[in-house]
Structure 1
Amino acid sequence: MLEKKIKLETTEILKKMGVRGPKFIVEHPTDMSLGDYSLNGALIYGKKLNKNPLDLAVEIISELKKRNIPEISKMDIAGFGFINIFLKDDFFANSLEKIIKSSRNFGKIKSNQGKKIAIEYTDPNPFKEFHIGHMMTNFIGESLARIFEFSGAEVKRFCYSGDVGLHVAKAIYGLKQNLHLLLWQKLFGQQTSRARFLGDCYAYGDKKYREDEKARQQIVEINKEIYGQKKFLTKFIYNLGRQWSLDEFAEIYDILDTKFDFSFFESQTAIRGVELVKEYLAKDIFVFSDQAIIFPGEKYNLHTRVFINSHNLPTYEAKDLALAEIKYESYPYDLSFIVTGNEVNDYFAVVLKALEEIYPNLAQRTKHIGHGMLKLPSGKMSSRTGSVIAFKSLLKDIEKIIEEKMSERLLSKKEKQQAIQDIALGALRFAVLKQSPGKDIIFDFNKSLSFEGDSGPYLQYSARRAESCLDEAKKIGLECSFSRPDNWPLENLERLLYRFPEEVARAGENSSPQIIISYLLNLAGNFNNFYSREKIVDKDDPTASYKLALTMAFFQVMENGLYLLGIRIPSKM
């Protein structure tokens, strides 16, 4: 990448001037009239070298010219020593050819080449509905997985589901109170109705656990039975409900274009979790407290958490320790990412500290990414209260609105159904991924579903508009050319397209799909401005072939960028 080349050469120049380990910024000026790149090295190191930053900038420019970087046209000094770099017109024309020839590989870089990355995300729990929290985690995790792959890493996707624990006991309690409805669902129910029924029974059991002491004791006993797997009725209901949930999750993963390489369950980690905690209890990493075994987080300025409860059963914490071990045995990773809602940030701080005491090597390789919550006009909703917003329900509501918007479009039923789903998912993914990591999101239906401005459908429509131009050009036999026409004014669109690999690198370094979204919005805005001013497909226009090359390169970058976000471009809109 040219950005890296400029930074490397400037670093060497500053080192020869006496700067140790120079650190400075190479960036694109917001105002393109100020150049294609900007350096602040002279501003930062002028004082340290006892030089006026303007004089130092002159020296750096002189040295850069000696390095003979062929893509650079000229360099100017601005402000207090900023160096603005302008690129040659031919560079942009050559970039178009590179983009088109690279096709779906354009944007792939080598910053993570040779690395093995494990990323865990989605993590829905059987016996509970797949809700919008799982959806958010899926969108972020899948996008990060694709960005890491684009940066050269081998990536394996992990999903970890809680198929044992108190939440399952609460659901089974509710199911036992509704055996007649359970039988009806088994004989006549559909996948979606079964998933909803399980969610309702969980909500009922959760309410009883909080409000009824007798029910609470029964749920505690059911929890023990689940781990023991000896009581016939409990085992039968457990196996039936678990399978219903997994069937529902499989269908949703298909909708979301997600394929996991590894799926683990708490029933697989429970025994090992107990073994680990008891092993390190003897080494004073854990301690006894009120018949339970805890990790004394206060020693590390964290909070204390229970790892084995008073019934000698492992908590989530103990099972997560075992999961880290099992993950690494299954796939010896260099880096491991865990994507969840940020309400468990404190929980993971404790778990990772405990992991550090047991397996410091694994803890150093593990990073937790906590995201904010998706809020609708009614506010955040929690599955613990039974008022969970199910993913399928939200998707259906959005699809209804899009269907009304597209009611006059002349598409076949199949084309329209696919387009509606693609646009609905695009709108949701965009809304989730456009926010900085950790921030809450307000999903505004009108703005999120608009074909204009700051939305997923806007990016999809922009890409589809370009693809329509390519289809039209193909019909009349117009081919693209990479030779810039005489007196061709440099377009902002040209000056943006080549930057895509740089944005991929930044998104990977910061674990932030938001960077890709910001870039694509800027790119789409400049293309639509170009489209409104120019007739692209015109066989009698001598500049049409170059315009077509610009359009083709734009479409390719949009296709690759939207892929990284998990957003499909509808074949018809």
Structure 2
Amino acid sequence: MDFIIEAVVKAVKDLYQTNITAKDVNLQETRKEFEGQITVVTFPFTKVSRKGPEQTGNEIGEYIRNNVKEIASFNVIKGFLNISIADDYWLEKLNNEILTDDFATVKPNGKKVMVEYSSPNTNKPLHLGHIRNNLLGFSLAEILAAAGYEVVKANLVNDRGIHICKSMLAWQQFGNGETPQSSGLKGDHLAGKYYVWFDKAYKQQITELIEEGQTEDEAKKNAPLIKQAQEMLQKWEAGDEEVISLWKTMNGWVYDGFAETYKALGVSFDKYYYESNTYLLGKDIVEEGLEKGVFFKKDDGSVWIDLTEDGLDQKLVLRSDGTSVYITQDLGTAQLKYNDYHMDESIYVVGNEQDYHFKVLFLILEKLGKSWAKGLYHLSYGMVDLPSGKMKSREGTVVDADDLMADMFDTAKQQTEAMGKVEGLSDEERTTLYHTIGMGALKYFLLKVDPKKRLLFDPNESVDFQGHTGPFIQYTHARIKSVLSRAGYTGTATVNITEVDAVERDLIVSLTKFPETITDAAANHSPAVIANYIYELAKLYNKFYHEKSIMQAESEGLKQFRLQLSAATAKVISKGMKLLGIDVPERM
């Protein structure tokens, strides 16, 4: 609304002989209970008008109405100047911007950003927390790309360590050569099965050692299984051929399983990093930090950084025996990623339990003088809870991602069939529709909430066709497509109207906000901004649909205009949902 800002600047100059700048003009969206689309806050101008805010507002309003053709009318409420923009302006926006193929498409901004998400462990399948992580990361990457960034989607896989060896050891001892093919289990589920078996057998050994007179701490250290797992890790780090071969085999099973889950989730990656390749990184950075005086060495040889002046504490960066800790590896991996891509921003999608870790990581890199450290960002998200008693996992503790997606398919099928929304569809079309609705429900429910907030996921609530849900938006899209199909809409008819009703105007105004909504979502690293915008747009379209006849419009021109408006809404809904990784059906 630059033309309004320019008009206000000129009005203040001509009315009150005072020069102001665009920064002095505060524009707001007009509140729904008042008439108008844009509100100018006039209180700052009372100093130069030497009049009350209402009189000042009326004078400025009268001036810009008389001098700016796009202004239809105005009203002043307690010093707030509410401006109604002429219908011609909105109709031009619809025809020359919204309906064009490149609407909400921006030019590349020349900046590169990496979004790292998923980051699974290869000793167990993905779970509900991973789902929120993957959906946030993928959606943010799509939004950033739409906002003009060159985006690299990265996945750092935790494929080494004692937890991996636990699964491997349990398979060796209890597996009898079982494979995903022989068991019928996905590879990640098979590895997870043996991780659970290790834990059960380990706890049994601890109990037996305690009964023999050892303390709990002694029993945990002396249990044969944990000693064997530690020995296996040492062999892995030494490059033992037999251990490495088993590691590669079982990780291969897991990667195949992950690939199936990622495909079902609809997420993808451009670059994989593996901790087996990065866990030794960072030692050079420790040496660099010692030379610069950023780190210090204690008498036992361990290396630390003192962050007490920054409100944190002392942090270990290298053990006394010269081995790495997590922060060492992360320092090295951050440098590796920058060396690979030289990105302007690097976003880590990781749960909020790691808030402190990332504060320390980013601060250390800044103190080391890394020019790119200012571009590091932790997209911290809250946990996902489920109503008690819902969808118990195989182990009864964590909700498995594949189980949850299967449950969402079944829930969508039940709800959709109960509402009679599958008439005339083939079995294949129905299956596709259930998957589209089930995944749309899951994704939308998890993405509509600000990432930082903890949320309660209710599967049945998420598939409510009348609620603040993905299926409500999907059904709105299908409804519009049905109207356009019945009307034989081609988008080529000439439309000559000069006035629109309030609900039609509101719909156009909402559509014009899509590009700035993308920009806002990118700036705030929040898919929730897109999700809630699309929901409000779908609500507004349904209001329009119920208040205005499309097929029985008073004239052919009005009918074609309403079809245009419908087509534009469907396009924005489809684009917006795609940014969330959600498909919208053509028919339901």
Q: How does 1:2-151 map to 2 (within 5 A)?
A: 2=1, 4-7=2-5, 17=18, 22=23, 25-31=26-32, 33-40=34-41, 42-44=42-44, 46=46, 52-54=52-54, 56-57=56-57, 60-61=60-61, 64=64, 70-79=69-78, 81-99=79-97, 101-103=99-101, 105-109=102-106, 113-151=109-147
Matched residue SS, 2:371: helix
Alignment CA distance shift 1:382-1:136 (3 Å): farther
Matched residue SS, 2:278: helix
Distance in 2 between residues matched to 1:263 and 1:9, nearest whole Å: 52
8 Å CA contact 2:187, 2:256 repeated in 1: no
Q: Alpha-carbon deviations, 1:339-366, whole Å to 9, x = none?
A: 1111111111111111112243121011
Matched residue SS, 1:84: strand
| Aligned residue number for residue 429 of structure 1 | 443
Moved more, 421-430 or 23-32: 23-32
Decide which of 494, 507, 522 is 1:508's aligned counterpart.
522
Distance in 2 between residues matched to 1:483 and 1:317, nearest whole Å: 65
Matched residue SS, 1:567: coil
Post-superposition offset of 1:228 = 2.5
Do residues 482 (structure 1) and 491 (structure 2) align?
no
8 Å CA contact 2:144, 2:151 repeated in 1: yes
Matched residue SS, 2:429: helix
| Aligned residue number for residue 264 of structure 2 | 255
Alignment CA distance shift 1:479-1:109 (3 Å): closer
Alignment CA distance shift 1:23-1:419 (3 Å): farther
Letter in 2 for 1:319: Q
| Aligned residue number for residue 220 of structure 2 | 212
Q: How does 1:136-285 map to 2 (within 5 A)?
A: 136-180=132-176, 183-185=177-179, 188-190=182-184, 192-205=185-198, 208=202, 212-214=220-222, 215-230=225-240, 232-285=241-294
Moved more, 4-13 or 428-437: 4-13
Matched residue SS, 2:377: strand
Post-superposition offset of 1:443 = 0.8
Moved more, 261-270 or 340-349: 261-270
Alignment CA distance shift 1:172-1:85 (3 Å): same
Letter in 2 for 1:106: F
Distance in 1 between residues matched to 2:132 and 2:259, nearest whole Å: 17
Moved more, 168-177 or 14-23: 14-23
Structure 2: runs of 5+ lacking an equivalent:
204-216
Distance in 2 between residues matched to 1:333 and 1:382, nearest whole Å: 41
Distance in 1 between residues matched to 2:396 and 2:194, nearest whole Å: 9
Distance in 2 between residues matched to 1:559 and 1:268, nearest whole Å: 40
Percentage identity across paired residues of the two chains: 28
Matched residue SS, 2:186: helix
Matched residue SS, 1:163: coil
Q: Alpha-carbon deviations, 1:16-67, whole Å to 9, x = none?
A: 9466883664232231643111122x3246459976444554565467568x
Matched residue SS, 1:482: coil
8 Å CA contact 2:189, 2:257 repeated in 1: no
Alignment CA distance shift 1:373-1:362 (3 Å): same
Matched residue SS, 2:526: coil
8 Å CA contact 1:395, 1:424 repeated in 2: yes
Structure 1: runs of 5+ lacking an equivalent:
none
Alignment CA distance shift 1:388-1:297 (3 Å): farther
Q: Calculate the aligned-residue CA RMSD, in Å.
A: 3.2
Q: How does 1:339-358 map to 2 (within 5 A)?
A: 339-358=349-368
Matched residue SS, 1:468: helix
8 Å CA contact 1:427, 1:449 repeated in 2: yes
Letter in 2 for 1:257: G
Letter in 2 for 1:493: L
Matched residue SS, 2:193: helix
Do residues 392 (structure 1) and 409 (structure 2) align?
no
Alignment CA distance shift 1:530-1:151 (3 Å): same
8 Å CA contact 1:163, 1:242 repeated in 2: yes
For CA contacts below 8 A with separation 6 or more, give which structure has more relative contact order.
1
Matched residue SS, 2:160: coil
8 Å CA contact 1:108, 1:150 repeated in 2: yes
| Aligned residue number for residue 384 of structure 2 | 374
| Aligned residue number for residue 444 of structure 1 | 458
Distance in 2 between residues matched to 1:8 and 1:350, nearest whole Å: 46
Post-superposition offset of 1:11 = 6.7
Letter in 2 for 1:398: M
Post-superposition offset of 1:9 = 6.1
| Aligned residue number for residue 334 of structure 1 | 344
